[in-house]
Structure 1
Amino acid sequence: MKTIYNWIFTAVIALITTTAFSQGTVTGTVVDASLGEPLPGANVMVRGSSSGTSTDFDGNFTLDVSQDSGTIMVSYIGFIAKEVSYTLSGGTANIGTVSLQPDAEELEGVVVVGSGVIDLARDRQTPIAVSTVKAEEIALKSGNQEFPEILKSTPSIYTSKGGGGFGDSRMQTRGFDQSNTAFLINGQPINGMEDGRMYWSNWQGVMDVANAVQVQRGLGSSKLAISSVGGTINIVTKTIDSKEGGFLQTMVGNDNYLKTTGYYSTGLSEKGWSFSTLLGHWQGDGYNHHMEGNGQTYFISAGYVPNDKHSFNFLITGAPQRHNQRNRYTLATLLEKGAKYNDQWGYLNGEIVNTSGNYYHKPIANLNWDWNISDRAELSTVLYASWGRGGSIGLRNYGSQREDNFDLTGQYNYNRSITPNADGLIVGERRADDRRADILRSSVNEHSWYGVVSNFNYEINDVFSFNVGFDGRSYHGEHYRRVVDFLGLDGWDDDTNNEQLGSDYVVTESYSVNPWKATFHDTPRDQRIAYDNPEDIRYFGGFGQFEYATEKLSAFVQGAVSTQSNQRFDYFNYVEGNEKSEKVTNTGFNVKAGVNYNINNQHNVFVNAGHYSRQPYQDNMFLNFRNDVNPLLTNEKITGFEAGYGFRSSVFAANVNVYQTTWDDRVVSGSLSTGEGFYQFQGVKQVHQGIEVDFTARPAQGLQFKGFTSIGQWEYDGNASQTVYDDNQNVVAEGDPLYLDGVKVGDGAQFTIGVGGQYEFLRGLSVDANYLHYDNLYAGFLPTDAEFSTPDNRGSVKLPSYGLLDAGLTFDWKVKDNHNLVLRFNMNNVLDETYIAESLTNRHVEEGVETYKGISVENQVYFGFGRTWNFSIRYKF
């Protein structure tokens, strides 16, 4: 009986308390801003009290409040908390939809400038296949990996570490290599203008300053007439931070990796100024033997927002670095000597010196100006410049390397070189059996690049808008070789025929491979060896787009026209006054269109199509490494089609995309697998088609799953012809047929499946894992492989499939308001899988030849890395 009285007493007190303090109710809906759909289980509290509730399955909530007005705090693990004011009217208030942003240093927390030229796709509106990696994921999972590897869980992206040197990673998008994927930083094109290539050693610091990276697969939505055959990668960096803050981080990893980084931003002052800077240093021994590297990162940004009409931002960033590299080895050699084998080093004066490497410094600067002309009109402009200085390091001698170039341990024998070099300057009769001297040289690639991109956007009404703009670029490149170390000589008689300096001129100056010093080197023409061929490239394009957008339907039509002029200069093969080639001018264009339809709040479908007529690259324009213009010169023709379906719910989102890209009249050039020559293919046609599926699920608070699968069919269509050159740029073979019809495109897995999850099992403590499986990976091929010289070739060699498991652990401790200490541990390839990431040759199994997992050991391959790890401590304030 006493217990019953206690229950009644408690109920009465509760009723009195509720009546006395509850004045009304507040209702609303909480959604994920990135998905646009409800967040079930979000916490909703009245600030300054313990009164609270959580959202239901549809993101709705009803909260009792005791005051006529106040502030509601809405939070969800992994998202930025938000405060919303309320005022009761008739005892109720509806605060509407509260959109929470993922908890990251990302675009929504930054005043973005150059927004008119940064073509970011919008979910459920832009009709393209797109994936976005945000700042928090980049900061946590990148570790001591390189930029391409943070995208490896993106559909149709394949990454490889190449030879394993710092910065030597590469990626493919839908089977197309980096030279045919467009990379942009804040709207600034950064692919090499002469060949479209990307060298990630130049961009070691890009992950430190990135707010987000968006992958637009296929022709994308960029308005520029750029080479987005496989896709467009938009890298959006920090610009003007809206509030003061920064971070300090130190990281250690396998093979003595050490990285230290600091970032600080003043935030936007009352007078509209903002300043930020990032400085960093990294170093490591490298995963493979004697692949040491080190470098720095700097980023300086100054922003000014004088009023609501204008915003300006100037930034300069760079990542000077030097790293060792290694040779290409057959599978047989790596099985005998180990997957980490490297013979490109030896002892010189008691110190280890590597005979192969890379050094470079490529600062870029840009000035962004956004002008909000009116409520309907805006103009965005970016002026940019880039100055690249550096090159690759290697040996140079008078004849081919002999066995005595290497000692009994297999390392380079510097004593062999120093001994004949000890007599000083080598001159006289050129007899290969007498002239065994070596030097270290660098193959220099310098450039000065200036450009401007401007875009005017006008909203005709609430549904129609158009924009027009232009893209101009001026590029000057220098290509030559110079001496790094004479190895005991007083000078070097290069034994090459220089039409302007003769065949007996001697160089006496050596140049440092310190990337900071190389930035300011000026090498006279009489100190250049082997070749000396600068180039000038001028590009100007105009573009326009018409867009229609309603809640249900959005569509765009866009086009661009460009003209490009190329001119080559050659100070070796031509007498003074005849150095210039003719100026070659080509016109290109593109047209693209797409439509997206939102069936309802959960379902949408889209379709897009486009055609490019793209000017050939400089490297494919001139024959025989001379000023001879390629008579078969023609624009490359790219046609793409894509369709997709998207689904969004409160706990699940998914996308399905199908695509086909045809690439005709392609020219391909590169280095031979022997490292002693070059090749060029002409008339190549490829057809890439496939299907992509990806999903995200949040079944419970703190638990998230992601996954994807990519199924591709990438093949050559028809045959081509080939020209082969030796290392001195002499033609070895010309016009030979190359039988490619039906051959699989190599260097990227055509089937990939990945699944990952993240679980926060205690507040601030979470674990994540990601598994990727690769199959239908084929070898690349070169003219030396011979398999494609006859009609009955056996096609591409299929490499063994493999799977990789990565995992991580994060502890995020809130020290105080806006101050967090984040501890992160990453382990990549947890199971220590041994796998071949790529094969540089395409040699099929022959009778009597040893095999490894079904492929011939005569193939030159790159093994992927085994188990690696890193641990970082970051203090954010």
Structure 2
Amino acid sequence: MFTIHFKKSVLPALLFLFTFLFSSQAWGQTNSLEGVVYDAQSQEPLAGASVYVPGTNIGTSTSFDGSFKLQLADDIESLTVSFVGYQTKEVTVAQDLEIYLEPSVNLEEVLIQGVRAEVNDPVAQSTIQRREIEQKYNGEQPVFLLEELTPAIFSYSESGTRLANYGGMRLRGIAQERINMTLNGVPLNDMIDHGVFFSNFTDISNSFESMQVQRGVGTSSNGVASYAGSVNFESVNIEDRAQGGQVELGMGSFDTYRMNTSLSSGMIDDKWSFYGSYSRILSDGYRYNTSTDASSFFFSGGYFGEKDMIKINAFNASSKNGLGYSAVAESDLEADPRTNYLNENDKDDFGQRLVQLQHTHIFSDQFKTNASLYYGGSGGDYLYTYADSDTTLAQINYPLYNDHYGLMVNGFWENESWNLSSGIHGYIFDRVNEESFAPDFENPYYYETSDKKEFSWFGKAEWNRDKLTLFADLQIRTATLSIQPDYSYIGIAPEGDLVKDWTFINPKIGASYTFSRNVTAYASAGRMGREPTRIDIFGGFSLGAANYDQARADSFAPEYVNDYEAGVKLTYQKLAFNANYFFMDFQDEIAPIGEVLAFGVQKRRNIPDSYRTGVELEWNYLPIDLLSLKGNLIYMQSEIESFTTGVGDTYTNKTPILSPEWIVNQEVQVRPVERFTVALSGKYVSESYLELTNNPDLTLPSYFVLDASAAYELDHVALRLELNNLADEPYYSSGSPVSGEPGYLVNAGLNFFLTASLRF
């Protein structure tokens, strides 16, 4: 029923390569080196700092007590130690190292201060450093990577490979268009429909320095509301990056191939630094007709003066995907799990680009500013094939194009007791939506334009005294959406633009208290408002005679959430443990109801009262040096108090769709010998509903997935093999009702991916 797509020549080659590398571990004489990394001012140990030999794969991260251990060749004389928020330091190799890092005046890191939460901020957060990204990353989209590394996330893949093509995630059961996403503070969301399509800029995570997930309303961020949470990506740090490069080659099931090359200049004349990366991914996909052909280019370059930095970040990417957005009825999946209802000619050809010009100035040790001017854009074709009246096939193209221009300016002031910051952000977002019949794509029968303008201001204040930190954050957002309807398509005389105005005042307060070096507790309360999307306002993807009056009548309200969070962080020599409790109280929640509009997007409506509450846990336990137990979980209860269907039926005390009670991740990692690591990881997601009446026959079944990996690192060469879904059972991670029975998006059975990298 299912073939893993190993070619006969692949397995012997893999076994030979691993045997060769494993047996070669004795190349050269090595010494064991141990040390501890501290904050130079507080004298506290730094957990998660990177300790590595520049230009090689040799490195590690410090444990919870700041300690590390490395096996080094005799000829290694120095190490580099880095940590976000601290100055990178080069140290001479010696026994029993004690390394003290100074808090950073790194010019690049000022760029993310406006959207990042600090370690002791009263926010439910997870920050993933570059070393951890490198250990897991194989070219997959960020949503699949975040699912492995942070709590409360589960994702879906339209191709079933969980690597390429379209995919998305839900945070605390809330869909991706209600999650704020930024790169260096620049919004990545579509400002009108609020989505982020990572398939448009594939393999971008290879150019990330770090990622931070804030769950709940979090701290202020730019762009669409941080409603379910926010994800901030930091691009690669070029100020401290050594000269050199890397080539990565990957291959896997379903004729999947990946190539990524990157090159860094290092600092030139102590003032200039440049970085570039190019990637290509090809895959047939697991489901029929879900192939991917994607490429991307990322560039970063900058001037670094004593007090000023001028930096350009840019990417340009394109993808061609076979489409698989339609859920497939369970009965059809039982007959063939690779079933895809969409025609083989249903494809997209899309591109996305971003250019960001940044300037940072340090006026003094206490005051610094940064400003960013940016342009983003995307566009392409999206084809749909259908049976015409005479049973012949016809095709419609649904292209869209957008241009996004923005400016943000932030200032930061701090002394021993206070950290103050404030900033403004404004943008103009222009959009064109078309529909046209093949082959006359140049003359659309539907043509609609829209634009959105937004201005926001934030102010943050943090007061520190001994062990107590008090935090306050206020954001004010004003947005105007103007839609220019196609009145000839609607069939009425022009009545002017549809104009929607919103103003949101979003306050947050919180406190944290450090009881000892090992124990910190926090609590916070915040409110966030979010405007409806264009699809919500229309009740569909285009504006016609049937929905015009509804769209003009302001019948769709904004949604609001009052978010309460409290947690504790425990850090010991062998154990790190975080626990967070949350209660999210919604008013007029914009919730999906199970009915599919088109392209797999469900219809949404305002629900007067609903809530989500639960507990999130993260842990990392090192019982012995060669073994680590790492994981996270969420237990959540979600309820809609009352809602009325379109035909007048009223339901009470129902669970929102695709909101499981349990999401559990656990990984066991063993290092039997130096530089060789084996890991076994499992993910469990409990049952959830596919529609709001909670019909027990229309559910997404619970699933448990077991994966394994093995990695070996030499000085300049690394090899990693992943075996996914060891049970070889296709499973479902998203869906919707299809003709009265449950419909699903399926994930592949047993499959593999091998990555080899060379650093120079």
Do both proteins adopt the same fold according to a TM-score greater than 0.5, normalized to the shorter chain? yes
Partner Cα distance (1:673, 1:596) in 2 = 44
More off after superposition, 752-761 vs 590-599: 752-761
Does 1:373 pair with 2:288?
no
User: For the structure 1 residues 144 and 831, does the alpha-carbon distance in structure 2 shift closer, same or farther, using more than 3 Å as the test?
Assistant: farther
Q: Could you tell me which of 693, 700, 718 is aligned with 2:624?
A: 700
Q: Whose strand fraction is larger, Structure 1's or Structure 2's?
A: 2
Determine the structure 2 residue equivalent to 1:769. 680
In the TM superposition, what is the alpha-carbon distance from 1:870 to its structure 2 partner? Answer: 0.7
Q: Could you tell me which of 744, 755, 760 is aligned with 2:671?
A: 760
> What is the correspondence of 1:209-220 to structure 2 with a 5 Å cutoff?
209-220=207-218
Q: Of the two, which has the highest radius of gyration?
A: 1
More off after superposition, 256-265 vs 738-747: 738-747
Determine the structure 1 residue equivalent to 2:691. 781
CA contact (8 A) 2:227 2:529 kept: no
Partner Cα distance (1:59, 1:300) in 2 = 33
CA contact (8 A) 1:144 1:870 kept: no
| Deviation string, structure 1 residues 164-187 (Cα, Å, up to 9, x no partner) | 384321111111110111111111
Partner Cα distance (1:279, 1:869) in 2 = 23
CA contact (8 A) 2:35 2:96 kept: no
In the TM superposition, what is the alpha-carbon distance from 1:604 to its structure 2 partner? Answer: 0.6
| Deviation string, structure 1 residues 841-870 (Cα, Å, up to 9, x no partner) | 2998xxxxxxxxxxxxx2212222211211
Q: Could you tell me which of 482, 489, 505 is aligned with 1:573?
A: 489
Does 1:363 pair with 2:264?
no
Determine the structure 1 residue equivalent to 2:435. 481
In the TM superposition, what is the alpha-carbon distance from 1:703 to its structure 2 partner? Answer: 2.9
In the TM superposition, what is the alpha-carbon distance from 1:752 to its structure 2 partner? Answer: 1.9
CA contact (8 A) 2:669 2:679 kept: yes
> Helix, strand or coil for the counterpart of 2:419?
strand
In the TM superposition, what is the alpha-carbon distance from 1:134 to its structure 2 partner? Answer: 2.7
Partner Cα distance (1:293, 1:39) in 2 = 39
> What is the correspondence of 1:276-295 to structure 2 with a 5 Å cutoff?
276-295=275-294
Determine the structure 2 residue equivalent to 1:245. 244
Partner Cα distance (2:581, 2:707) in 1 = 28
User: For the structure 1 residues 781 and 671, does the alpha-carbon distance in structure 2 shift closer, same or farther, using more than 3 Å as the test?
Assistant: closer
User: For the structure 1 residues 39 and 219, does the alpha-carbon distance in structure 2 shift closer, same or farther, using more than 3 Å as the test?
Assistant: closer
Partner Cα distance (2:79, 2:385) in 1 = 63
- The one-letter amino acid of 1:629's match is R
Q: Could you tell me which of 711, 721, 724 is aligned with 1:810?
A: 711
Q: Could you tell me which of 571, 595, 603 is aligned with 2:511?
A: 595
In the TM superposition, what is the alpha-carbon distance from 1:212 to its structure 2 partner? Answer: 1.5
CA contact (8 A) 1:570 1:626 kept: no
Determine the structure 1 residue equivalent to 2:233. 235
In the TM superposition, what is the alpha-carbon distance from 1:579 to its structure 2 partner? Answer: 6.6
Alignment length (residue pairs) = 691
User: For the structure 1 residues 380 and 109, does the alpha-carbon distance in structure 2 shift closer, same or farther, using more than 3 Å as the test?
Assistant: closer
Q: Could you tell me which of 149, 153, 156 is aligned with 1:157?
A: 153
Determine the structure 1 residue equivalent to 2:173. 175
Determine the structure 1 residue equivalent to 2:4. none
CA contact (8 A) 1:39 1:650 kept: no
Report sequence identity in percent.
19
CA contact (8 A) 1:779 1:842 kept: no
CA contact (8 A) 1:687 1:716 kept: yes
> What is the correspondence of 1:129-144 to structure 2 with a 5 Å cutoff?
129-143=124-138
In the TM superposition, what is the alpha-carbon distance from 1:59 to its structure 2 partner? Answer: 7.6
CA contact (8 A) 1:114 1:186 kept: no
Does 1:737 pair with 2:656?
no
More off after superposition, 378-387 vs 198-207: 198-207
Does 1:332 pair with 2:357?
no
CA contact (8 A) 1:743 1:796 kept: no
Does 1:313 pair with 2:311?
yes
CA contact (8 A) 1:273 1:302 kept: yes
> What is the correspondence of 1:564-713 to structure 2 with a 5 Å cutoff?
564-571=479-486, 572-573=488-489, 578=494, 580-622=496-538, 624-626=546-548, 628-668=551-591, 672-673=595-596, 675=598, 679-713=603-637
Partner Cα distance (1:304, 1:388) in 2 = 28
- The one-letter amino acid of 2:354's match is I
> Helix, strand or coil for the counterpart of 2:614?
strand
CA contact (8 A) 2:382 2:397 kept: yes
CA contact (8 A) 1:144 1:253 kept: no
Determine the structure 1 residue equivalent to 2:423. 469
Does 1:832 pair with 2:754?
no
In the TM superposition, what is the alpha-carbon distance from 1:222 to its structure 2 partner? Answer: 2.9
> What is the correspondence of 1:62-461 to structure 2 with a 5 Å cutoff?
83=91, 98=100, 112-123=108-119, 125-143=120-138, 145-153=140-148, 154-162=150-158, 164=160, 166-224=164-222, 226-242=224-240, 243-270=242-269, 272-305=271-304, 307-326=305-324, 327-336=326-335, 338-345=336-343, 354-396=344-386, 398-399=388-389, 435-459=390-414, 461=415
> Helix, strand or coil for the counterpart of 2:605?
strand
Determine the structure 1 residue equivalent to 2:14. none
Partner Cα distance (2:208, 2:634) in 1 = 26
User: For the structure 1 residues 144 and 318, does the alpha-carbon distance in structure 2 shift closer, same or farther, using more than 3 Å as the test?
Assistant: same
| Deviation string, structure 1 residues 730-772 (Cα, Å, up to 9, x no partner) | xxxxxx3363432112224320222212222222211122112
In the TM superposition, what is the alpha-carbon distance from 1:556 to its structure 2 partner? Answer: 1.3
Partner Cα distance (2:354, 2:47) in 1 = 41
Does 1:862 pair with 2:745?
yes
User: For the structure 1 residues 369 and 377, does the alpha-carbon distance in structure 2 shift closer, same or farther, using more than 3 Å as the test?
Assistant: same
Partner Cα distance (2:665, 2:610) in 1 = 26
Partner Cα distance (2:257, 2:604) in 1 = 41
Partner Cα distance (1:828, 1:752) in 2 = 18
> Helix, strand or coil for the counterpart of 2:174?
coil
- The one-letter amino acid of 1:158's match is F
Determine the structure 2 residue equivalent to 1:539. 454
Determine the structure 2 residue equivalent to 1:404. none
> Helix, strand or coil for the counterpart of 1:805?
strand
User: For the structure 1 residues 343 and 712, does the alpha-carbon distance in structure 2 shift closer, same or farther, using more than 3 Å as the test?
Assistant: closer
CA contact (8 A) 1:116 1:456 kept: no
User: For the structure 1 residues 576 and 160, does the alpha-carbon distance in structure 2 shift closer, same or farther, using more than 3 Å as the test?
Assistant: closer
> Helix, strand or coil for the counterpart of 1:742?
strand
CA contact (8 A) 1:685 1:717 kept: yes
Q: Could you tell me which of 29, 33, 36 is aligned with 1:30?
A: 36
User: For the structure 1 residues 630 and 200, does the alpha-carbon distance in structure 2 shift closer, same or farther, using more than 3 Å as the test?
Assistant: farther
Partner Cα distance (1:38, 1:468) in 2 = 28
Partner Cα distance (1:99, 1:60) in 2 = 14
In the TM superposition, what is the alpha-carbon distance from 1:38 to its structure 2 partner? Answer: 7.9
In the TM superposition, what is the alpha-carbon distance from 1:291 to its structure 2 partner? Answer: 1.9
**Unmatched 5+ stretches in structure 1:** 1-27, 44-54, 62-70, 87-92, 101-106, 346-353, 400-434, 487-508, 511-522, 723-735, 783-787, 815-819, 845-857
Determine the structure 2 residue equivalent to 1:821. 717
TM-score normalised over the length of structure 1:
0.72
Partner Cα distance (1:196, 1:688) in 2 = 22
**Bigger RCO (CA 8 Å, 6+ sep):** 2
| Deviation string, structure 1 residues 548-587 (Cα, Å, up to 9, x no partner) | 1245122211111121111111223367982732432221
- The one-letter amino acid of 1:177's match is A
CA contact (8 A) 1:681 1:720 kept: no
In the TM superposition, what is the alpha-carbon distance from 1:621 to its structure 2 partner? Answer: 3.3
CA contact (8 A) 1:594 1:607 kept: yes
User: For the structure 1 residues 796 and 681, does the alpha-carbon distance in structure 2 shift closer, same or farther, using more than 3 Å as the test?
Assistant: farther
> Helix, strand or coil for the counterpart of 2:173?
coil
| Deviation string, structure 1 residues 189-236 (Cα, Å, up to 9, x no partner) | 111111212222123122121121111111112344742121111111
In the TM superposition, what is the alpha-carbon distance from 1:312 to its structure 2 partner? Answer: 1.4
In the TM superposition, what is the alpha-carbon distance from 1:163 to its structure 2 partner? Answer: 5.4
TM-score normalised over the length of structure 2:
0.83
User: For the structure 1 residues 56 and 476, does the alpha-carbon distance in structure 2 shift closer, same or farther, using more than 3 Å as the test?
Assistant: closer
User: For the structure 1 residues 638 and 443, does the alpha-carbon distance in structure 2 shift closer, same or farther, using more than 3 Å as the test?
Assistant: same
Q: CA RMSD in A?
A: 3.7
Partner Cα distance (1:569, 1:39) in 2 = 53
In the TM superposition, what is the alpha-carbon distance from 1:300 to its structure 2 partner? Answer: 1.4
User: For the structure 1 residues 32 and 869, does the alpha-carbon distance in structure 2 shift closer, same or farther, using more than 3 Å as the test?
Assistant: farther
User: For the structure 1 residues 635 and 675, does the alpha-carbon distance in structure 2 shift closer, same or farther, using more than 3 Å as the test?
Assistant: closer
User: For the structure 1 residues 138 and 670, does the alpha-carbon distance in structure 2 shift closer, same or farther, using more than 3 Å as the test?
Assistant: farther
CA contact (8 A) 2:152 2:634 kept: yes
> Helix, strand or coil for the counterpart of 1:164?
coil
Partner Cα distance (2:47, 2:611) in 1 = 42
| Deviation string, structure 1 residues 99-121 (Cα, Å, up to 9, x no partner) | 69xxxxxx999862553555333
